[in-house]
Amino acid sequence: MKNIYFVQVGVAFGNSVYLPYATGTIVASCKSRPEITSEYAFPDIIFKREKLVDVMKRIVDPYMVAFSCNIWNIEFNKALAKKVREKYPDCIISFGGHSVGHTTDVLEQIDTVDNVTFGEGETVFPELLLALKDGDLSKVKSIAYRKDGKIVKTDMACPCDLTKLPSPYLNGVFDNIIVDNPEIDFSGILETNRGCPYSCAFCDWTHGGKKMRFFPEEKIKAEILWMAEHKIEFCYGVDSNFGMFTRDLDIVDFLVETKRKYGFPKIFRTNYEKNCTDRVFRICNTLNEVGMDRGATISYQSLSPEALKNIGRKNLTLEHFSDLMHRYNEAGIATYSELILGFPGETYESFCKGICTLLEQGQHSSLYVYLCEILPNAGMADPDYVREHKIKTIKVYFKNAHSTANSNDEIHEYSNLVRSTDTMDEDDWVRSNLFSVCVQCFHSLGILRAFALYLYYEHITDYFTFYSGLSDFLLKSDGKLGELWRDFKSRYDNSLKGNWHYYNPLFGDITWTHEEGMFLQAAYSWEESVEELLPYVRQFGIPEDILNDLVTYSEMIIKKPGDKKREATLNYDVPTYLENIYERTKQPLEKTETVFAILPKKPYEDWKQYAREAIWYGRRKEANIYHKDEYSVKKTQTDK
């Protein structure tokens, strides 16, 4: 028997690792065909990022080693392929996956690779194995290979019939992986369809085609049951537009029913349909009722008309966005919005004021800003597109937020990020990064949100002025926050180093985004942070008694480890004033003695648990902030 080893190395998130779904589906397809299993054996899927010397001990007498390539493992794969070639010179080495692209670049650049597969490996790879038996690869579609010193690329195969693909879960592909690794909390992938009708230039999803294709519902439900039986806590739905189809409601109902019966999966996260339809609302509501969701996505990517035109994106109207925010808030469903920094056509002003527009429309709880990355299969990777928009990129160390801080760094992975375009130079890119971090930390995570809302709704200053000024203030501040802020700016200025995550062992052996790191530092040293920030806030002329109430309210409303029931007497009914703003029923700030009491249900025990559960797991649902069910407001007297 000829041994086929698959390599799909993932990222460790604390003690959690995803099951190697992409290669698992290929193994399942191969094992379903007797003409393949009679010739080939599949002894192992290598999925943990270990030292190369340790990985090589597990590869014994290989006929082929096949690598699933993505931005988080491509360099590891190259290094391991070189080791395999040195030890087993006759072993066939095959690359596939998103980072391979649709070109022959990998074969041209990496001499250890013998062939590459394009598109859907479940159909391409079995045909490759069968063709290797007689040595004629020309009849295999969607591959490129070496022959007589030249590179040959075959025609692309048609999209496969998903109804005929076996399941790696149900066919036992992952059974030994789970048994052999009891120390790992595995996460699962759920795929109900393939394809995407949209053509966003920054996305590589359309490598599977624009036409939507569907897996059978009975298979999907059986996979959900398998996850429940194997106690898979986190399930990630990898559809491009979940909620686009009526049957998605049935799938979610089954997920909820399964959790109620078995307790698993505990969380289901997915990519929702772009237009946020009634169906998506019903799905989010259903998941929210049993605590399975991590919030509903109401995303924009950009609010610049020029940038949207350049990336082929069309947004919701602001009126629709505002209505959706109100609807989700009324139902008690957390929402989050996402923007991407670096699109051609975006300027410093358009990007920052776009963020402020979302705040003005009611997105106060959860905003995420990502850096634009050039992916091999995306439209933005086209050389003509790059030249047209004068895109300059930087190759920086890849590091997923919330990954294990002290993981194996024997081999570095890299991201290819947009650093400047014809409309945003490098300095403005740095300023835009700092502004976005400022808003995410001090507004979305709540530190100065009460002050910003008061200043905006009392027509004293707008969000852009407040947060751009705060960023400038922190650059000159002598306190701990200022020191950290200057460190962040230095990292962006010297972006080729790419060390853009915050790490502090106080908050666990985990990396954090800059806004999360700044928030954790501010919350941990709350009194020092207030003392450092107050001089900036005071310059806006807020009456001293209102200012003091806003300070007290902000200190009370943000959760901290070890919190106990406590109360404070305010001169104004600040809690109700802010609640009305969130509910779009803004009323004047009432001067009335108000007892504001915090009633923690389940306090966090320490800072590591708080960071993990309130910020990592719970950021989208504002788990770091007390909501109505954990505080009370009682007016004691009113000044007339």
Contact 231, 264 (CB under 8 A): yes
49-80 tens-digit pLDDT: 999 999 999 999 999 999 999 989 999 999 99
* Amino acid 316: pLDDT: 66
* Rg of the chain, C-alpha, whole Å: 26
Nearest CA among 567, 563, 578 for reference residue 614: 563
Q: How many CA atoms lie within 13 A of 52 on its CB side?
A: 17
Question: How far apart, in whole angstroms, are the C-alpha atoms of residue 568 and residue 552?
Answer: 8
* Amino acid 12: pLDDT: 81
* Amino acid 640: pLDDT: 44
* Amino acid 405: pLDDT: 63
3-state secondary structure 511-543: CECHHHHHHHHHHHCHHHHHHHHHHHHHCCCCC
Residues of the chain with pLDDT below 50 are 640
- What is the DSSP track for 392-443? EEEEEE---TTSBTTS--SS--EEEEEEE-SS--HHHHHHHHHHHHHHIIII
454-492 tens-digit pLDDT: 999 999 999 999 999 999 999 999 999 999 999 999 999
* Amino acid 63: pLDDT: 98
* Amino acid 365: pLDDT: 85
Question: How far apart, in whole angstroms, are the C-alpha atoms of residue 375 and residue 390?
Answer: 17
494-529 tens-digit pLDDT: 876 566 789 999 999 888 999 999 999 999 999 999
Supply the pTM of this predicted model: 0.89
* Amino acid 417: pLDDT: 92
* Amino acid 67: pLDDT: 97
* Amino acid 376: pLDDT: 83
| b/e per residue 426-443 (b: at least 16 CB within 10 A) | eebbbbbbbbbbbbbbbb
Question: How far apart, in whole angstroms, are the C-alpha atoms of residue 65 and residue 466?
Answer: 55
Residue type, 41: A
Nearest CA among 141, 122, 121 for reference residue 131: 141
**Pairing, β 143-147 against β 115-117:** antiparallel
Burial class (CB in 10 A: 0-12, 13-18, 19+), 527: exposed
